Amino acid sequence: MPNGLPPPSHTALAALPVVVLDLETTGLDVRRDRVVQIGAIAMLGQRILEEPRIEQLVNPGIPMPAVAERIHGIGDAALAGVPDFAVVYPTLHAMLAGRVVVGHNVAFDLAVLRHEAARAGLAWHDPPALDVAMLVGALQPALPDLGLETIASDFEVQIGRRHSALADSLAAAEVFARLIPQLREADVRTLGEAQLLAGQAEAGWYAVPGEAPSARPTLPVARIDSYLYERRLQDLIGRPPLFISGDATLRDAIREMHAQRVGAILVGRSEAQPEGILTERDVLRETAQARLDFDRTPVHEVMTTPVETMAVDELVYRALGRMDRLGFRHLCVVDARGIAQGVLSQRDVLHHRVSAAMVLGDALQAADDVASMAASHSQVPEVARRLVAEGMGGIEVAGVVSHEVRALTARAADLTLARMAAEGRGAAPADWCVLVLGSGGRGESLLVADQDNAIVHDGRPEDDAWFAELGAGIATLLDEAGIPRCKGGVMGANAEWRGTRDQWRQRVDGWLQRATPDDLMNIDIFFDLMPVAGDAQLGHQLHAEVVAAASRTPPFLALLAEWVGGLRPPLGMFGVLRTKEGRVDLKRGGLMPIVSIGRTLALRVGSTARATPDRLRDAAAAGRLAESDATTLASIHADLMTRVLRQQLIDLEEGVRPSSRVAVNGQPRNAVRSLARQLRTLDEIMNGLRSSVAG
């Protein structure tokens, strides 16, 4: 249910709370004519809801003009005894709260309502709105006209009784539901982007891709505890977990928990995955029910199983969200093998709690459809905005965004598996793992990530059809939830990005032996792979193997170094920034060279690190990079990430699709000079590193 506040501009259309509105009136003069019928239908993304709905006649307080009655068929007799606008207003106002108003020629309807409210002495604030006519006009300029009948016919939507408010609302709702996928194909995915497109259509012009209006300051935001988004669970583990045998008695377990002053004890052996967990809450429950003999009852009869676990490298905010969603007080923290490393309790992070409204939390884990996935993902920009306001830098915020990209990919895999099972496709024919590649794998995604993923499995080549369906389902769900398909095709949905372990070994060997410069843009991101779903060990083993293979192939590394050398900072004569339309691309000419240097040097020294700063440190430790250069490159990388992130937040506020192009026109002179100095320093370091990177 909407919370009463207008959805932010970055809300995904797939998760947008909407009310589709249509009015019938006494005429076309918004100042003088009155409402005689209201039709309103709620939607969530593409889903048309059965409730709430409004179909209400309204007494206009004036005689019905004959010309209006001929159009909608509502006469004075039908309006006798029905409530006036002041009586109907509270119901309408409640339905509009927290939703975007969608309609055909919606500006007319809102203007009529504004004047009706003024006449009745009622408060009125125009809600955010989208006009289907303007959106369709922008996407299909060849339509002969933008009347509702024409649009409905083009979208193969049947209109009920024309000029009935509810029937027209339903037609507009069905058009909007079918319009969302078309908007997504046009890279219009958020409320802000749709509002900008509709506004441009109304004005008769369209923005050049990447063009942005002048920046405006962001609104003040609520405070948020950035600690939760910076620390990982391994930072909070203070002691090894306590274990007890499942055959031990409850009394033994209670005695051990009391002696060690812990609120939970794991059941099983420390060298294996835990069989269960016994918590103080379990003990209190059994004590209250007084149905068990604590001296005779074995722990395995009372323990909770399976154990809820999270990986040691997860961020703290996700653990708090998980505990809040499940109502648990303890989580088992495990390594990549599933072996317990500690038990995290709410007490451990009690002084770092924040309200649910300010935390991404664990809602994604409970998402059961595209709309709920999109709703969860739509929160990411607002959290990023608040973290920036708290002083966190781009590289730290990117870690949070990357965790969400990985989690969304994992959830897409879960939902695809559930759908395949329901459709009788059967279980997976072999162990498998979904991998996130590129910036998501490195932990360096910002707010414009597209899909980069792959699938590895332990089956046979003839099992490919099953995994092809898994990859296709993941790609579709991610695209609809707000992460676009990769334009380069780097997705497990495509055959070249999935396969058995042997197929991947052969594929990587082919890359290492025969890659061309044109191949490198897609190939190099494979070395950033991070397992996110399925058997993580499959992914980790593959990563270790391909890194080792690359480190033993000097010709490939030389080719990679040559490609890196072609990435130059955007500097013109005398080291002046080279801009286009007042912006400078800090990915192609700034972030990408640093990321590629880090990756190439890390492969050369056999490092399995993924994050760029870690790779630079490993290269320096191996003597391939001067400590001072590693520090400088990491500093420039962090600063460029922050600059790009801040620009993306501004662009989202303006309804512009975010990119890596940062506006410099209108920026303080000192800021522009500082950026130019950083890029000149990067250029100098790159020139000095040619021999080290190449061999």
DSSP letters, 64-101, are PPHHHHHHH---HHHHTT--BHHHHHHHHHHHHTTSEE
pLDDT of 210 reads 35
Residue-wise pLDDT tens digits, 640-664: 999 999 999 999 888 888 899 999 9
Q: 2-16, 334-348, 392-406 — which is least confidently predicted? A: 2-16
- Residue 567 has φ and ψ, to the nearest 5°, of -90, 110
Please give the DSSP secondary-structure letter assigned to residue 540.
H
- For the residues 36-45, what does the mean pLDDT come to? 97
Contacts of 30 (CB under 8 A, 6+ apart): 108, 111, 112, 114, 115
pLDDT of 390 reads 72
Specify the long-range contacts of residues 111-114, CB closer than 8 Å, at least 24 apart.
111/30, 112/23, 112/25, 112/30, 112/33, 112/34, 112/35, 113/23, 113/35, 114/30
Is 265 in a helix, a strand, or coil?
strand
C-alpha to C-alpha distance for 549 and 617, rounded to whole angstroms: 21
pLDDT of 639 reads 93
Nearest to 526 by CA among 555, 497, 487, 561: 497
Whether residue 227 is predicted with pLDDT greater than 70 in this model: the reply is: no
Whether residue 135 is predicted with pLDDT greater than 70 in this model: the reply is: yes
C-alpha to C-alpha distance for 421 and 438, rounded to whole angstroms: 30
Q: Are 435 and 453 in contact (CB under 8 A)?
A: yes
* Rg (alpha carbons) of the chain, rounded to whole number: 29
Q: 197-211, 420-434, 622-636 — which is least confidently predicted? A: 197-211
pLDDT of 196 reads 82
What domains can be seen in the chain, in order of their start residue? Answer: 13-203 (3.30.420.10), 234-350 (3.10.580.10), 363-694 (no CATH)
Residue-wise pLDDT tens digits, 300-310: 988 998 999 99
- For the residues 89-116, what does the mean pLDDT come to? 94
Token pair recorded at residue 442: 């490195």
- For the residues 229-233, what does the mean pLDDT come to? 78
pLDDT of 239 reads 81
C-alpha to C-alpha distance for 268 and 333, rounded to whole angstroms: 15
Q: How confident is the model at residue 31 (pLDDT cuts 50, 70, 90)?
A: confident
DSSP letters, 602-662, are HHHTT----SHHHHHHHHHHTTSS-HHHHHHHHHHHHHHHHHHHHHHHHHHHHTPPP-SEE
- Alpha helices, H only, 333-391: 363-366, 370-378, 380-389
- For the residues 75-98, what does the mean pLDDT come to? 94
| HEC profile of 269-333 | CCCCCCCEEEEHHHHHHHHHHCCCCCCCCEHHHCCECCCCEEECCCEHHHHHHHHHHHCCCEEEE
pLDDT of 193 reads 87
Q: What crossing angle do the helices spanning 165-185 and 191-203 adopt, rounded to 10°?
A: 100
Whether residue 213 is predicted with pLDDT greater than 90 in this model: the reply is: no
Q: How confident is the model at residue 694 (pLDDT cuts 50, 70, 90)?
A: low
pLDDT of 686 reads 87
pLDDT of 120 reads 92
- Among 105-114, 169-178, 227-236, 503-512, which range has the highest average pLDDT? 169-178
When comparing pLDDT for 6 and 74, which is higher? 74
When comparing pLDDT for 389 and 606, which is higher? 606
Whether residue 573 is predicted with pLDDT greater than 60 in this model: the reply is: yes
Place of tokens 């604590």: 294
pLDDT of 695 reads 59
pLDDT of 114 reads 93
pLDDT of 693 reads 58
- For the residues 198-218, what does the mean pLDDT come to? 46
- Residue 429 has φ and ψ, to the nearest 5°, of -70, -10
pTM value is: 0.70
C-alpha to C-alpha distance for 620 and 153, rounded to whole angstroms: 65
pLDDT of 4 reads 66
Q: What crossing angle do the helices spanning 165-185 and 464-481 adopt, rounded to 10°?
A: 120
Residue 619 backbone class (left: φ over 0; alpha: ψ -120 to 50; beta: rest)? alpha
Mean pLDDT across the chain, nearest whole number? 87
When comparing pLDDT for 55 and 568, which is higher? 55
Is 397 in a helix, a strand, or coil?
helix
Q: Are 433 and 540 in contact (CB under 8 A)?
A: no
What strand order describes the sheet that includes 330-334?
309-311, 330-334, 340-345
Whether residue 313 is predicted with pLDDT greater than 70 in this model: the reply is: yes
Whether residue 69 is predicted with pLDDT greater than 80 in this model: the reply is: yes
C-alpha to C-alpha distance for 212 and 581, rounded to whole angstroms: 9
- Residue 499 has φ and ψ, to the nearest 5°, of 165, 175
- For the residues 51-77, what does the mean pLDDT come to? 93
